[in-house]
Chain A
């Protein structure tokens, strides 16, 4: 079956610390993968998307980066977190190639103090 896993689910980090969020999918190959951030009261903001290994497109200039080291692995990173990086981070997988339907991971809630 097709699944998507994200971890960690929750983390609290100090300003200036590094970040690594991981996302893996199962049950498919060569998926299109996305990282979104959801801030309170705002729509989902696309951060990065990837159509294959090593292929990353950035939508928003910021102190975050993404990598796709393996076909079914997508990693979101930061070298130095800012307060404004707090939010709910969602990894998503394009399951509907014709319709654009996204299937989301469980999410990672980041609080930067």
Chain B
């Protein structure tokens, strides 16, 4: 079966750095996505990785290792507004998105 694993919840301090991991087992691979979802709201696109390596976008970076079936989202200089759930999703060989359950990130002052 296809599976996306990510921690259920993480806590970090304002101003710090946090890394949210995602491991996947899917039928093929056509890209990995990270979305941010604030409570009660729709997910919004953060990043897309299809090749190995690090993609940086401001305070957020996303890393991919296809051989390890592994990705992480790195958030720097955490702000209170970063409190949200972070969803990892993988596009399989049929170009269907397989979603993880999300990681709820709690930022404390």
Interface residues of A (CB under 8 A from B): 41-46, 59, 90, 96, 99-107, 109
Contact between chains at A42 and B42 (CB < 8 Å): no
Could you say which of A41, A45, A104 contacts B42, with CB atoms under 8 Å apart? A104
Contact between chains at A90 and B42 (CB < 8 Å): yes
* Chain B residues whose C-beta falls within 8 Å of the C-beta of A96 in the assembled complex: 48
A59 to B31: give the CA distance in the assembly, Å. Answer: 20
- By size class, the interface of chain B is 20 to 34
Considering only residues 30-89 of chain B, those with a C-beta below 8 Å from chain A are 30-31, 33, 40-45, 48, 50, 87, 89
Contact between chains at A104 and B31 (CB < 8 Å): no
Contact between chains at A102 and B100 (CB < 8 Å): no
Could you say which of B33, B91, B95, B100 contacts A43, with CB atoms under 8 Å apart? B100
Interface residues of B (CB under 8 A from A): 4, 8, 30-31, 33, 40-45, 48, 50, 87, 89, 91, 95-102
A45 to B96: give the CA distance in the assembly, Å. Answer: 11
Q: How far is the CB of B44 from chain A (nearest CB, A)?
A: 7
* Chain A residues whose C-beta falls within 8 Å of the C-beta of B30 in the assembled complex: 100
A107 to B38: give the CA distance in the assembly, Å. Answer: 12
Contact between chains at A46 and B97 (CB < 8 Å): yes
A101 to B42: give the CA distance in the assembly, Å. Answer: 14
Closest A-B pairs by Cβ, 9 of them: A43-B99, A104-B42, A44-B99, A99-B48, A107-B42, A43-B101, A100-B91, A101-B45, A43-B100
Q: How far is the CB of A30 from chain B (nearest CB, A)?
A: 17
* Chain A residues whose C-beta falls within 8 Å of the C-beta of B4 in the assembled complex: 43
* Chain B residues whose C-beta falls within 8 Å of the C-beta of A104 in the assembled complex: 42-44
